Each structure stands twice: as C-alpha cells, then as structure tokens.
Structure 1
C-alpha cells in the first residue's frame, strides 16, 4: 500500500470505527502522545479526554438513529513523515438514510515507526448547529 492509500485507509477506518462504536480501534489510529481535536462540539489535546468525549457524542448520535460518515473529495499532501488531508464529510442517518450534515475536515498525520497515525483533526460543519449546541 502506498502512502496515499494508507492515509485514506486511516480516514475510512476513523469514520467506520466511530459509526460502529469501536473506540479502542478508533483510538489506535491516533498517536497517543499527540492528539489534538477541534470542532464546535469540543476541543481536546489528550487522547483520553478526546475518546471520552467521542463516546458521549456517539451515544447522542445513537439516540438519533446512528450515523454513516462518508468521505468525499479527499486531497492528501505528503512531505516526508507528515501528511495533510482535506476533505468533505457527508453524514447520513443510519436508520433511515436521511441527510444529517456536511463538514470540512482538516487532518494531520505523522509517520511513527513506519506507520501513519492521526495527530490532529479539525471538523468545521457547513450548517448552523446552534440548535444542537445548547
């Protein structure tokens, strides 16, 4: 697998592990020493606080019927041991297929011991989410 394929594999696995509540596997995709996440729903700089939040966010989405996150228009730039990803996230309701939202994702990966790992993710929703944030 080349570097681009490895990054896209990690992107897909991150979304699938969230959608299926596989938190240990999701966390294994991240560098345990460098984990920064930014979104309107929360900002985290430690793997433990990020995964604790992710579990709560998953529970909230399950009450709405669950999710399927689809990655669209990926752009990957790789320079040495750093990779940058930008793409769209299209989110649908698992139980009925209805549209839930779109976001722009900006991710950064670092190659550690010949393996790529997430070190940063920023999620910027396209829709006004003020009604969900209160």
Structure 2
C-alpha cells in the first residue's frame, strides 16, 4: 500500500522524522536545564539568599530580582565580615551592555560578580587565571 502512494508515504515519513527530531531536541533542552545537576562542586550545598524588607545602601533592584529578593552591596559586605555558617559568600548583579562584534552592534546582558564568585562555585579556568 505504501509503494502505491509514494507522495503520501514520503509525507508520512517526513512528519514522523520531524516529530521525533523535535521531541528529542526539546527533551535534551529539558534534561540540561532542569534534570542535570549544576556543573559545580557540591551543587546541593548552594543556597540563594534573599533579604526581605527595606535595605540600606543601594535601592536599585534592576534585573537581579524583585526588590524584596536582593541584597544591597553594604549588606553583602557585612555578611562577608561576620562569621556565618556558610563556607563562602558570593554576589552577582545583571546589567545591560552594548556589544559590537564584527561591526554589528547588539544589546546583551552581562554579570558583575564578586571576587569570591568563582572560588565559591569551585570553577577553575581552562586557561589563564580568574579574578
């Protein structure tokens, strides 16, 4: 029956191939983003801290999170100085940047990180040195 209608057969095979390919691509994205552990030392030990309430110092929440979920820089520095139960503290904040690659300008996002950021995550550079 399939040999008698080659056009319908080719459409059916192409539809199956497209469906299987799309399903595999979506699952691999899902697997990498949600199921795999983070590629850092002891990912179960990472904690994201939030500070509800009014903050002293910077009041710019920006893209780092809602205003009730971010620390000011002075609060981060105070936490670094105090004896805490954490093995290490790191901070980050997102910012917008204009980037030009091969004479093509585009808007991208960058991340300002504290000096201890990569050490806390246990990330080592492939070549060179970190902050």
TM-score, scaled relative to structure 2: 0.27
Structure that is richer in helix per residue? 2
State TM-score, norm by structure 1. Answer: 0.26
> Which of the pair is proportionally richer in strand?
1
